[in-house]
Amino acid sequence: MKANLLASPLVISDADFQKFAEYFHRKTGIHFDDSKRYFVDKRLVERIEASGAGSFRAWFAGLRFDAAGTELQRVVNTMTVNETYFFREAYQFDCLVNNLLDEVVACKPPGSRLRIWSIPSSTGEEPYSIAIYLLERWPGIDRYDVEILSSDIDTQVLQAAQRGVYSQRSVAQLPQAYLRKYFTQTGADEFRISPDLVSAVDFSRVNLSEAADTRRFRDIDVIFCRNLLIYFDDVSRRVAAEALYDTLNPGGFICLGHSESMSRMSSLFTVRRFRDAMVYQKPLDA
């Protein structure tokens, strides 16, 4: 450890940080201010050392001019936190039940169907959170049929989602009342979700980059596609955004992760700012 410290004089200067932060923001929409300095510097040093570049300058030149974008993808993965849990970024679920669904049903007669798509499903925390929110916090659930579709490219996480067994960490943000109502504790660190919720979500494997996969999805009213597109290259991101556009009904909404911006991917959507969240909408006249 001491030897490593002595042999590791890499320091990210203010100018280096600014240069990186500007470039990273332009490429991903993710903004790092000085409050994230420690987080960013630590990961930059890790990437510079792993790449063998030896200095920020050499590494940044490699990043900047790497036609394949490999190092950019690596640094994106390093700089983004990839974890999920129940009620993560719940302000968007608040927006769903406080605003989005009411707008969607405004032109639908009672008894008609709404369709919500959660992609990527990961291990199921997001689609099940949506289901719980609808049951607990959206009065319209008594007047409409709601289908929740959820997809992922990874069949292993889909299997885990359908098993519906979660750790304490995963359910930590759930109100105790909901935990008691929808889960059964089956071990010291094991909570099994209600079979009724498992059976209410339609899981499927989908590669968002494959037109053949997404073409089956139509008439979606709300899409949750959070913290996925930031991992795509520019062209794939745009193609995916356009595919999502075609799956939506006119006036349908799409919710992205807090660090993602549809405006950087595609000009097809309209930005809508609600009290709880900013989301993107397919124009009503599309």
Partner 1 sequence: MGLKKNAEGAGLHEVAVREYPRDLPGLLAQLADDDVAVRRWAARDLGEHPSAAPAVCARLVEEPDASVRAVLFSTAARLGGTAVVQGMIGLLRSEEPALRNGAIEVMAGLPTLVAPCIDALLQDADDDVRIFTVNLLGDLRHPQVPQWLKQVLWTEPQVNVVGAALEVLAEVGGADTLPALQAVRARFADDPYIGFSADLVAERIETA
- Return residues touching partner 1 (CB under 8 A): 13, 15-16, 19, 22-23, 57, 61, 64-67, 69, 110-111, 113, 131, 134-135, 141-149, 197, 199-202, 204, 211, 215-219, 234-235, 238-239, 242-243, 245-246, 266-268, 286
Residue 286: CB minimum distance to partner 1, A: 7
Q: 42 or 57: whose CB is closer to partner 1?
A: 57
Q: 141 or 179: whose CB is closer to partner 1?
A: 141
Distance from the Cα of residue 56 to its chain's centroid: 30
∠ CA 75-81-86 to the nearest 5 degrees? 160
Residue 8: CB minimum distance to partner 1, A: 20
Q: Which two tokens stand for residue 152?
A: 């992922």
Residues 257, 226: Cα–Cα separation, whole Å: 4
Residue 84 near residue 126 (C-beta atoms within 8 A) = yes
Residue 70: CB minimum distance to partner 1, A: 11
Peptide bond into 120 cis (omega under 30): yes
Q: 19 or 192: whose CB is closer to partner 1?
A: 19
Residue 124: CB minimum distance to partner 1, A: 14
Q: 222 or 243: whose CB is closer to partner 1?
A: 243
Residue 275: CB minimum distance to partner 1, A: 25
CA distances to 31, 59, 218 from 23, in Å: 10, 13, 36
Q: What are the backbone angles phi and psi of residue 266, rounded to the nearest 5°?
A: -155, 145
Q: 170 or 247: whose CB is closer to partner 1?
A: 247
Q: What are the backbone angles phi and psi of residue 104, rounded to the nearest 5°?
A: -65, -45
The set of residues, in sequence order, having a beta carbon less than 8 Å from that of 191 and lying 6+ positions away, is 165, 166, 167, 168, 170, 171, 179, 183, 184, 185
Residue 26: CB minimum distance to partner 1, A: 8
Q: 4 or 199: whose CB is closer to partner 1?
A: 199
